[in-house]
Structure 1
């Protein structure tokens, strides 16, 4: 019996050794190597590959404000290089089995998957007489190519895919391998080849040989859509995205394809088609939730009528009530506000925009859109100071300063900067002038009320600060020394509070009216020192009364500055913001305040232009008569008497620029009279040109070179008044200031 057992054991051992050979084409060898490579090496490789895909899905952050890429991964084009391959029989860019290889630890899951695929090929490959006998080696090559694809080594990935296609034409995964090869070619900017191979797969294979499985059709159409997006053939991309979403075998990719398709329709302003796609995605039960919630958000952006708007608004409000949607509250509130704004419910819109800003975990990009919309609302309502504050907030939270939208906001903010400055000058000077005109007792009463309100605000702020410190201590290391939950049981918190109190109020006795500065403690160094009480000027009535100007010259200067600011505001509202109502209010007010003589003419001229344009002949004639009667020899009077017929500008911009350069060259040569004659000939032909202020200023310069100072001043005044918001107008103003000083 023992002898029989030894014989059986020896037979099994010989059979195992025989089966281990990769050079023997037997049933035992083929099945042994197939099972060993699959259940040992390739299993671990596939698990590492799945782990790498999970890492990509978890680490990738979609920018929902931009069109999503069809494949959720970002590759660095700078890392795409063409490696050198060794000449070997295995192909696909790795050494032979006999070649010594270094055993380095894989850097990541995809590197580990590649290592396992190479190991399976090297140890269990059965290439006998040019034919591979191990049916699992094609799986190993596919895994090898996919691992290299995600490691951003596209050239060796294509090598691995090509090896499968060339050597395993009848493999059951040949179609999937062709799809992966197409994707790798797309990443290498070879989308034309990818399109050609995918068309052959979908058309030729599907019609002549056998019907492709639904999952393969989805993958192939998705790859084709990727290729057409890369080549900017968006219509064809949409066609294949539609085909890719018909069967929805891969739920996550199908949802993503639908979302990208909806975005494409939205970018083309096809709101009906976009809304249909997003609505379908929102009702797609098995789609990942992030796509469904953002589909509802996009649906709100693409409403086409009031009935749909009402239903979408109701849907968004239900989503807001769902606690699971708290991470998306900033976006949901924003879309609700946007719908209210479209429905002219401005108060509700502002309320929901503010809710969006207050939402926890709100993104900076969403905040930038919310701040911008609030700024636009206040801008439309002519509340420019509020608008400026919100535009400033956009610039502070935005991380993409080069984006076109942010550059536009920045330009708006800069345009508002001078306006805000002049408005502040008007408000400040008006306040000082008004207080200075009050009797002494009324001034004291005014500042007493002001100081009381200031103390109340400071006291509330100090108490809030103490509460914040106490609250923070309960959730920090300060709580370790606490004997209880009450504030005063924590010695460290009390110490912080005491320090904070003394920063604001100083040292005070425990008595009534402790807030008064007279009750602050007195520091005495010795008996001979003088008692000094530190007076808090913030609450000192005398300090405020001393700041009130009493000198007539100072008060007159304040009035002049205020009047000049009002005039500048009138020009800004008229020329930059096209707000004629505010322009009229500022200009008429400064005209009623007895401004300096040089402002009277331009104020009347601008009011004449505004009223004449609006058809208010009564007020237009009032200002026209002032100009004609009091300033009959000015250019403005001549324009009113002999209005020039508007001649269409037939000169292109380049020709106008050339003309200006020629005239400027004549000016530099000293031919001032010639310049003046030529400018007068050119001006009637360029009424609509942006370069007209340059010609007018050049004309003024030429006048100043050979005519009298008074004529030169009138020419500069014309430029300063008519083109005050341009660089040329500002330059003319500077020169006029210098001339008046001489």
Structure 2
């Protein structure tokens, strides 16, 4: 009896499940079977995967508190994205697959109507997974499908909100505002639905710069949301927006609400709210002691350790506002030593430290800080370009200060007596011996402590971690032996470094005349020579020519620094010191007069009228024929354009260059370079001379002139331009091979009449006649020009011919009457080949070819 009953029961159940699995029948069993299966299988797993993906997104997202936060924490990845690509996240992929599975296997679509009440949830999950996967167009399709197919769904309002979130991501902010405003008017939303709708509406208003309305919507969202995390974020954004509008009191009220949430919301919101309130502090009328106590409390609270980077920075800001620069510097450096992940905070710290050093005229250190600032900014962004301009302005002063420092050190040694030199280097050698002894002790300690050793002298490996049944290996820093070993290893690798920023840089070595890590003299010395004063004394320059060269280099650096401090930075005190040091250093004659004139202008700027009068009278008395004396004797005309000024002479010379008077340009440039040596105009003259040299003498002469300019004036704009020419342009001009003159290869030809350069009148007369002939020529639109080839040869050229044969038989285009006017011999050449002969001055090579 039992066996037949079980068989019958199995058949009945099988029949029931088969009938239930069918998606073509609309009955109670089928609907509920597929609804329950979809909800508690595919959709459940899909929602779990979606939540895991959202958590990973939030963990990976880094908020930029220097700007107004976005309402939704989501990193948009746009770099190198091909069409249809997305930053695939496995969790969102899995969620999308589960949603698609629920739709494919459990949809009961009969006569165009869906009978499974869970399918709208499946489409919502599908849209959300695509949205977080940053495939916004497919996501929009899923949300629109819900609105089209399931107008009576209980998820309809969620679908509308998510559709507008997607529209905002697609920059359809106006459309999103219109749809969300209509939704809020037509539907009586409550709770999280109201919070979601108003918060995303606030984001749309933020994107369209309607800040006051965005604040209103965020207020509604912060009250309606069930999530304290969201509430804290919405309140914090309100505070940021009030600050942006300049309403500091209202901003502080919003930040106080964030602080009141305390542990109910992420601590970063509370800490940053405190910091934003402190930024709003009135330093003129407020209680500074209260603010300092608050900052100390934030600093000392152990729970705030992850946020010390921001707290130290704000303490630095507090001290900087109170003109306590030394304390400010300490705390900016503390902020940097926290190894913060906030690159903008790092950049801000470095920039402020750079500005402090800049204001103190410590330009070398300022330049180093600006370099660090740029490494933490987005390349070619507006802040990056701003800092780069600051850094570029320091390039010259850093360059010349380095030269002056080295040359000063050498000249000081040159001027010491033999006894003083010996005493100096004996003192230096004593320091070297102490350092060598310390190094020897460290090496011996390292040998004694080779390997990580525990308190029981058991090697710290797989078999020696534990020394007893109830005692495990000590934590590294609790074990004095292993700590000592670690310190020794550090010293062996890095040397004795002080605790400071950029401690890994090679120039953080020993102090004194030289550092062992970066001094070539010390590196070349043997063990005996390192401790012999005579070895170092022998390296001091002794030849008069060498000493004179160093002195000239140092004096030129002084002069350039004086100009830079005076003209670029308006640091008249520093400029005065440099010019005075220069005049006391037996400078070349060419630097004396401009230095004295610049000192006169500096005395005037500093209000030192007595010194200015002395300098003025000295220039007029000793240099009466100079242009400086002319200016000083005629102060009323000082503002007028001086025809003999470097700028006026350069402009006149440039006009001659345009007229192809290259020999004259080269000659005058050399003269002006000698006259104005040391002034900024010299590098411009050198560049103009190099170009004229290339046009007159060809590629090789041009290359030499450009190379000289690039090396000699490396830190000027013209020097950098020459470097670019040498690197990128000259290699392209090096080709000497002529192209084949074939109409299929080139379609531009010239007809050239050759004259001696001395025949200037003849050339002008011929060109006048040629222009009249070309004007009357039928079927062709031709024009002429005069080009200098070299010192002895000038060309008159006919342009506009497109056919090689026509160019070769140019005289056949002329009428009999015009042939009588144009009797000069000519040759034809392709434009590409004409460029080659002008660059390389190889006309003879071309004429020996069988081209004409």
| Range of TM-score over shorter length | 0.7 to 0.9
Partner of residue 578, structure 1: 570
> SS at 1:224's partner residue?
helix
Hey, what's the Cα distance between the residues in 2 that align with 1:22 and 1:371?
67
Classify the secondary structure of the residue corresponding to 1:314.
helix
1:240, 1:534 → 2: CA distance?
77
Residue pairs, 1:588-599, within 5 angstroms: 588-599=580-591
Conserved 8 A contact 1:716-1:733: no
Aligned residue pairs, count: 632
What SS does the corresponding residue of 1:637 show, helix, strand or coil?
A: helix
User: How far apart, in 1, do the equivalents of 2:628 and 2:439 lie?
Assistant: 57
* Corresponding residue to 2:200 among 214, 219, 223: 223
Q: CA deviation at 1:581?
A: 0.8
Distance 2:640 2:270 in 1: 55
1:704 aligns with 2:668: yes
Cα deviation code 1:7-38 (max 9, x no counterpart): 99988777666655545544454444433332
Select 1:324's aligned residue among 303, 311, 316.
Answer: 303
Give the whole-Å Cα distance in 2 for the aligned partners of 1:236 and 1:472.
Answer: 68
Residue 236 of structure 1 deviates from its aligned partner by 4.5
1:288 partnered with 2:266: yes
2:313 corresponding residue in structure 1:
334
Q: 2:653 touches 2:665 (CA, 8 Å); kept in 1?
A: no
Distance change >3 Å, CA 647–CA 702, structure 1 → 2? farther
Structure 2 equivalent of residue 249 of structure 1: 226
Normalization by structure 2: what TM-score? 0.64
Q: Do structure 1's residue 634 and structure 2's residue 626 form an aligned pair?
A: yes
Q: How does 1:129-208 map to 2 (within 5 A)?
A: 129-205=111-187
Question: What is the rounded CA distance, in whole Å, between the counterparts of 2:351 and 2:447 in structure 1?
Answer: 34
In 2 relative to 1, CA 478–571 (structure 1 residues): closer, same or farther, beyond 3 Å?
A: farther
How far apart are the structure 2 equivalents of 1:288 and 1:471? 46
2:557 pairs with 1:565: yes
1:37 matched residue in structure 2 = 38
Q: In the alignment, is the contact (CA less than 8 A) between 1:79 and 1:152 conserved in 2?
A: no
Residue 382 of structure 2 is aligned to residue 404 of structure 1? yes
| SS of aligned partner of 1:70 | coil
Contact kept, 8 Å, 1:271 with 1:304, in 2: the verdict is: no
Q: Which residue of 2 aligns with 1:59?
A: 60
C-alpha distance in 2, partners of 1:53/1:191?
Answer: 24
Q: Flag the 1:423–1:237 CA change in 2: closer, same or farther, 3 A.
A: same
Question: Residues 24 and 537 (structure 1 numbering): CA distance in 2 closer, same or farther, change over 3 Å?
Answer: same
Match of 2:191 in 1: 214
Partners of 1:310 and 1:49 in 2: how far apart?
A: 49
- Tell me the C-alpha RMSD between the 2 structures: 4.5
How far the C-alpha of 1:335 sits from its partner, in A, is 1.7
Instruction: Note closer, same or farther for the CA distance 1:464–1:332 as it changes in structure 2 (3 Å cut).
Output: farther
| Cα distance between partner residues in 2 of 1:220 and 1:52 | 22
Cα distance in 2 for residues equivalent to 1:452 and 1:446: 10
Q: State yes or no: 1:358 paired with 2:337.
A: yes
After superposition, give the CA deviation of every residue in 1:415-474 in whole Å (9 maximum; x if it has no partner): 334323433333333333333333323321221111101222343355557767888942
Instruction: Write the distance in 2 (CA, Å) between the matches of 1:550 and 1:715.
Output: 31
Structure 2 CA distance for partners of 1:71 and 1:344, relative to 1, 3 Å? same
C-alpha distance in 2 between matches for 1:583 and 1:733:
31
CA distance, structure 1, for counterparts of residue 228 and residue 326 of structure 2: 41
Inter-partner Cα distance in structure 1 for 2:409 and 2:126 = 78
Q: Deviations over 1:560-599 (max 9, x none)?
A: 3333322222111111111111111221222233333222
Q: Please, what TM-score do these two structures have when normalized by structure 1?
A: 0.73
Distance 2:686 2:306 in 1: 50
Structure 2 equivalent of residue 685 of structure 1:
none
Of 435, 440, 450, which residue of structure 2 is paired with 1:457?
435
Correspondence list, 1:384-399, <5 A: 384-395=363-374, 397-398=375-376
What CA deviation, in whole Å up to 9, does each residue of 1:328-373 have, x standing for no partner? 2223212211211111111111111222233256655533332222
Report the CA distance between 1:229 and its aligned residue.
4.1
- Is it true that 1:382 corresponds to 2:354 in the alignment? no
The yes-or-no answer on 1:538 pairing with 2:530 is yes
Give how far 1:318 is off: 1.9
Say if 1:126 and 1:132, in contact at 8 Å, map to a contact too.
Answer: yes
Q: 1:607-641, CA deviations, whole angstroms, 9 ceiling, x for partnerless residues?
A: 11122233322111011101111111221112122
Say which structure is richer in helix: 1
Q: Is the 8 A contact 2:572 2:605 kept in 1?
A: no
Q: Which residue of 2 aligns with 1:683?
A: none
After TM superposition, the structure 1 = structure 2 runs for residues 647-658 of structure 1, keeping only pairs within 5 Å, are none
Structure 2 SS opposite 1:474: coil
Measured at CA, do residues 283 and 646 of structure 1 come closer, stay the same or move farther in structure 2, by a change above 3 Å? farther
| Alpha-carbon distance in structure 2 between the residues aligned to 1:556 and 1:564 | 12
Does residue 345 (structure 1) correspond to residue 324 (structure 2)? The answer is yes
1:432 to 375, 387, 410: 410
**Alignment check: 8 A CA contact 1:161 1:180 kept:** yes
Q: Do the aligned partners of 1:51 and 1:109 also contact (CA within 8 Å) in 2?
A: yes
Distance across 1 between alignment mates of 2:436 and 2:24: 91
- Per the alignment, residue 99 of structure 1 pairs with none
1:669 pairs with 655, 659, 665, which one? 659
Tell me which moved more, 7-16 or 211-220. Answer: 7-16
C-alpha contact 2:596 2:615 (8 A) present in aligned 1 = yes
Q: CA deviation at 1:276?
A: 4.3
CA contact (8 A) 1:23 1:126 kept: yes
Contact between 1:225 and 1:241, CA under 8 Å: does it hold in 2?
yes
Q: Partner residue of 1:91?
A: none
Query: Matched residues in 2 for 1:65 and 1:137: separation?
Result: 43
Moved more, 435-444 or 458-467: 458-467
